[in-house]
Copies of this chain bind each other. A is one copy, B any other.
């Protein structure tokens, strides 16, 4: 006779949404888990458990938290591009106003060296406008556009990851249900065997032994079936585990890339700002030079040559 296989339910593991976790200090033969990537605060180490929704009974998969982080990152990228767009509009407005001012006829009648310096001052406002317009154009090409277009199809990509992981969890849940079903079937079979074994029927001894043998066989089969289901479960969990590690590391890499991309673009912003201030400074130089050359005596000469009425001085009347 084969020994009776009694399979206890898994009491040394905690089960959260069909995933089996060790219970620290309780589960036997469990060495303390080391982080897969120590000192790296890696995604693959910290998002195994589902997060319980504080207000209700629903929970969010750890992977879902990682995905939300990615979506938020995409949103941040978009909002930064919007901010740059607003800056571009402000620069264009400023440029437009300066350009218009530069065409003002105010004091256009000032002549000579002073008039030239004044005309250059007005012109410098137009030069400043050009500098700011150039700034806004470069902001658009070199900062806003890259921020807008980086990872255009990202949400689609993320959906793929999401669906894949969700499918693996579904399979896991399905296998877990299979284990539970097999466990229950085994329990039924064991109970049946026990009941039959304890009965004593002197009258129908042969049939009874037959019945016990049958019950024992079924019990053994149910035990095999349970082991098989547990094996299927563990394979499904492994598959999910591997995918979790792979995908979360990929998301981690993508996040590093995102941060670096943004940093680059914001550096480009500050570079353009530096550039702009320098170009702007240079618009003042021609004005300074002409102011240096302002010469009241020269201006008097120019004006007198043009407007003099007569050099001949009056003399006394003669008689």
Please report A residues at the B interface, Cβ cutoff 8 Å.
7, 10, 12-13, 19-22, 24, 27, 30, 33, 35-36, 40-43, 45-51, 60, 62, 65, 69, 72, 75-76, 79-80, 82-83, 86-87, 90, 93-94, 97-98, 101, 104, 106-107, 109-110, 114, 117-118, 121-122, 125, 179, 226-227, 230, 233-234, 237-238, 241, 252, 255-256, 259-260, 262-263, 266-267, 269-270, 273-274, 277-278, 280-281, 284, 287-288, 291, 294, 296-297, 299-301, 303-305, 307-319
Contact = CB atoms under 8 A, between A and B. Distances in A.
Q: Count chain B CB atoms within 10 A of each CB in A46, A72, A233, A269 and give the residue with the most.
A: A46
Contact of A46 (B278, B297, B308): B308
A302 B109 CA distance: 65
Is chain A's interface secondary structure helix, strand, loop, or mixed overall? helix
B277 A281 contact: yes
Q: Count chain B CB atoms within 10 A of each CB in A50, A288, A304 and give the residue with the most.
A: A304
Contacts of A294: 259, 263
B270 A284 contact: yes
A260 B114 CA distance: 9
Nearest to A89: B97
A319 B230 contact: yes
Contacts of A316: 20, 234, 237-238
